[in-house]
């Protein structure tokens, strides 16, 4: 395994003279990129370059072009995103700059350099009015600035590039960064009771599972390009997700269920955003863990 911070002028070779596959990972300090870092040592044939916005501002086309010119890159995994869902309602221009213009720049430069782009999108592109899992063929209808900006990013990529994988995911969490699970763990140390929304249903997805799928796509050299859905299996409300977290850490926190209207936020959330995964399972031959099994795995890492 070879890991680099920023610059890699020439492709490296593994033992025997085989060229490494070099992967640029943007958003290098986020939870998904951190999960990729945790498993990259298993793959001696892959060479990773991690960047954050200090190293590479994807919103600056000139920077992106210069970076790709200075580095030999085979795949770009775009984990960079504006993810402050409520704040995006007030910072619409910034959200669209990062979530739409940034992916557009990456798509244009990937096209110029024959680089495959793997872009992470979201279940928030849907309005939540459906009551069965959303497929890739369902028409998006975002109800928030965040969802709209992420959808525009998808559109830009599809306009400028053919060799791409757009992966929509949902309710991402891990042992890294900021996420719902870690918020619940923090609140468990300070409270005896907590109220959680029970009328929003989706699928918690362990970022480590998604990281493994991304690497599998890269190593398989799949050319089944296009739009895919990936989350863990199953469906659950935020309320039930919270209860499951507290059960796993053996904390007797009282969890009360509330309605979305009882917990107003700046941005609207889809009330149902479960994703259908038939396409990615068939095209990529992957097995997807059940959400609670992955939660148990993550909790065990934190409390072992």
Contact between 151 and 166 (Cβ < 8 Å): no
Place of tokens 């799928």: 213
User: Is 134 an annotated catalytic residue?
Assistant: no
Query: According to the 3-state scheme, what is the secondary structure of 84-120?
Result: CCCHHHCCHHHHHHHHHHHHHHHHHHHHHHCCEEEEE
Kindly state the helix (H) or strand (E) to which residue 296 belongs, with its residue range.
Answer: helix 291-303
List 82, 146, 164, 239, catalytic entry: 146
Q: What pTM does this model have?
A: 0.94
Tens-digit pLDDT string for the chain (304 aa):
444 444 343 445 555 556 899 999 999 999 999 999 999 999 999 999 999 999 999 999 999 999 999 999 999 999 999 999 999 999 999 999 999 999 999 999 999 999 999 999 999 999 999 999 999 999 999 999 999 999 999 999 999 999 999 999 999 999 999 999 999 999 999 999 999 999 999 999 999 999 999 999 999 999 999 999 999 999 999 999 999 999 999 878 999 999 999 999 999 999 999 999 999 999 999 999 999 999 999 999 998 7
Instruction: Report which of 58, 59, 64, 33 is spatially closest to residue 48, judged by C-alpha positions.
Output: 33
Kindly state the helix (H) or strand (E) to which residue 50 belongs, with its residue range.
Answer: strand 46-50
Neighbouring residues of 304: CB distance < 8 A, sequence distance ≥ 6: none
């Amino acid at each position: 395994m070879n890991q680099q911070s920023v610059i890699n002028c020439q492709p490296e070779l593994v033992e025997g003279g085989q060229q490494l596959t070099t992967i640029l990972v943007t958003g290098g300090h986020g939870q998904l990129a951190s999960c990729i870092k945790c498993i990259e040592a298993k793959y001696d044939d892959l060479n990773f370059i991690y960047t954050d916005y200090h190293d590479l501002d994807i919103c600056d086309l000139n920077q992106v072009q210069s970076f790709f010119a200075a580095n030999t890159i085979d795949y770009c995994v775009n984990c960079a995103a504006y993810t402050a869902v409520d704040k995006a309602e007030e910072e619409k221009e910034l959200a669209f700059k990062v979530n739409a213009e940034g992916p557009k720049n990456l798509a244009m430069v990937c096209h110029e350099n024959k680089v495959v782009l793997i872009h992470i999108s979201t279940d928030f592109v849907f309005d939540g009015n459906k009551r069965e899992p959303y497929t890739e063929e369902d028409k998006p209808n975002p109800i928030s600035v965040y969802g709209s900006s992420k959808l525009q990013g998808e559109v830009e990529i599809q306009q400028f590039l053919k060799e791409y994988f757009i992966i929509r995911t949902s309710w991402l969490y891990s042992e890294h960064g900021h996420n719902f699970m870690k918020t619940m763990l923090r609140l468990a140390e300070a409270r005896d009771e907590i109220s959680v929304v029970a009328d929003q249903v989706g699928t918690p997805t362990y970022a480590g599972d998604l990281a493994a799928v991304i690497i599998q796509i890269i190593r398989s050299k799949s050319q089944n390009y296009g739009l895919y859905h990936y989350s863990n299996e199953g469906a659950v409300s935020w309320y039930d997700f919270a209860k499951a977290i507290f059960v796993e850490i053996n904390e007797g926190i009282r969890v009360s269920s509330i309605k979305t209207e009882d917990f107003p936020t700046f941005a609207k959330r889809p009330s149902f955003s479960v994703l259908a995964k038939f396409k990615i399972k068939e095209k990529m031959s992957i097995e997807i863990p059940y959400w609670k099994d992955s939660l148990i795995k993550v909790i065990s890492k934190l409390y072992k």
